[in-house]
Each structure stands twice: as C-alpha cells, then as structure tokens.
C-alpha cells in the first residue's frame, strides 16, 4: 500500500526527476507530466511541445483521468519551466516571452485545473515562481513576466471560490538559484553555497504533504533563501 499519491508536472526535468525519486523512495505512487516519459514514475502523461495551450490541457486532463480513474491525489506539484534572458531591445524578445509563457504559465494553469478535478480535499498544489520576479527583471523580461503571472495565479487559487477542493493549499516556491547540473555548467564560477539543493526542495514538498500544520497558508509565495549551504523558507 502506498504512502500516498502525487503528480509531478515537469517530472523529467532536473528538479522534477529528483522529486520523483524522493517520493518513490518514500513509498508514494507517483505520476508525471512532461514532454517525455519518466521511467521511474508509476504513470506518465506525455504532452507534445508543438501543441497549443488548449490541446495540452486536454491531453493532461484526459491522461490523468485514464491513469487515476476515480481516485484523488494528495498533491500536484508543478516544477516545469525554464529560463531565457533578453530585454525589450533584444532581437528575439517576443520569442523569449512566448517561450517563457508557454513553459511556466501554460503548465501552471493546467496544474490548477487538474487540482480542481483530481486533488483530495485538504490536498496540496504547488507551483514554481521565482524570487527575482517579485521586482523588475530588466535583463530577463520574458522570464520575470511569466513568473509574476504564476505568483498571481497562486494568490488567486488561495482565495475562496477559486475552484480548489475544500481545505486545499495552494503555494508557490520562489527560489533564487537551484543547484542543477545546467546551472553549474553555465555559472561554474558562482558561489554554490548560495544555491538551493534539489533534495531540499523535494524534502520540503514531502513535509508539506505529510502535515498540514507544516504548510504556509493557502495562496502564499515562499522564498527559498540559501546562505552557507543552509536554506531558509521565508513567506513573502
């Protein structure tokens, strides 16, 4: 018998793969949503990158219906997304904005709808924002624009009449820099002691799922601030 059921949106990315492994190691049934299948998961819904917003939504909702049936899940965790730089004068400005919007905002709204349909009462839905998007992001406008929208969505989901199941908690994590292989490759000279480990994030999700008293209030934006290899969870 499993300890619970979780869905990880972005379950084949750097963070998503660690989250999947963590919950599998703790006897959870784990489903994933991504552009490719995660072999470690119990079930995977695969979306096509070239599909539009509405089609991706249909793929995910129908895929979850097929793998869950009438069952509900304890949490839906969205760790999908990406990064692109650029300001208003950049040649590919519109393209970078469109990419960031599709990666972060599409997946977050699909996660919200999936939570309305498949999350247990008292369950957890977690989205991924970004600490820099609490202010202007002149050198990465598309990224900041999309992450700020995720923040707004989280706050809306935390209000009454948002469509979330009774007693559910909606929260967004706002990391500064995650300690991923790609970040280490492109920022090899950075101070890694200020980067948040993927294992810390996975353990934080587990703590929030395991006990409601550990969770922030619904609608919260939570910064992950790491210094000297120690991470503090700070509500905005």
Our answer to whether residue 9 is catalytic in this structure is no
pLDDT of residue 109: 98
What pLDDT, on the 0 to 100 scale, is given for residue 212? 75
Measure the CA–CA gap between 232 and 227, rounded to whole angstroms.
8
Strands 230-235 and 220-227: antiparallel
Q: How far, in Å, CA of 168 to CA of 175, rounded?
A: 22
Q: Return per-residue pLDDT of the chain as tens, 236 residues.
A: 788 999 999 999 999 999 999 999 999 999 999 999 999 999 999 999 999 999 999 999 999 999 999 999 999 999 998 899 999 999 999 999 999 999 999 999 999 999 999 999 999 999 999 999 999 999 999 999 999 999 999 999 999 999 999 999 999 999 999 998 888 998 998 999 999 999 999 999 999 999 877 899 999 999 999 999 999 999 99
Q: Give residue 214's pLDDT.
A: 82
pLDDT score recorded for residue 211 = 83
Of the residues 29, 143, 200, 208, which is catalytic? 143
CB 98 within 8 A of CB 141: no
Q: Is 38 exposed, middle or buried (0-12, 13-18, 19+ CB in 10 A)?
A: buried
Look at residue 2 in the predicted model and tell me its pLDDT: 83
Task: Give the total residue count for the chain.
Answer: 236
DSSP 49-99: TTS-HHHHHHHHHHHHHHHHTT--EEEEEE-------B-TTSTTHHHHHHH
CA distances from residue 198 to 1, 22, 177, 186, 201 in whole angstroms, order as listed: 27, 10, 10, 17, 5
């Amino acid at each position: 018998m499993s300890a619970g059921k979780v869905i990880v949106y972005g379950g084949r990315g750097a963070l998503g793969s660690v989250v999947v492994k963590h919950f599998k190691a703790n006897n959870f049934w784990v489903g994933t949503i991504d552009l490719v299948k995660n072999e470690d998961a119990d079930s995977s819904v695969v979306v096509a990158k070239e599909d539009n917003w509405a089609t991706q939504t249909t793929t995910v909702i129908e895929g979850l219906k097929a793998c869950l049936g009438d069952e509900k899940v304890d949490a839906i965790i969205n760790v999908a997304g990406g990064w692109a730089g650029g300001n208003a004068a950049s040649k590919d400005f519109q393209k970078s904005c469109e990419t960031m919007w599709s990666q972060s905002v599409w997946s977050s709204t699909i996660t919200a709808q999936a939570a309305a349909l498949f999350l247990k009462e008292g369950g957890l839905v977690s989205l991924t924002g970004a600490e820099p998007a609490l202010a202007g992001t002149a050198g990465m406008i598309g990224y900041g624009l999309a992450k700020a929208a995720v923040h707004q969505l989280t706050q809306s989901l935390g209000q009454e009449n948002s469509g979330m199941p009774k007693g559910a908690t909606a929260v967004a994590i706002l990391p500064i820099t995650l300690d991923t292989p790609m970040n280490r490759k492109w920022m090899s000279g950075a101070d890694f002691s200020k980067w948040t480990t993927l294992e810390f994030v996975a353990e934080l999700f587990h703590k929030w799922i395991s006990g409601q008293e550990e969770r922030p209030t619904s609608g919260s934006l939570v910064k992950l601030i790491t210094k000297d290899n120690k991470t503090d969870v700070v509500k905005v």
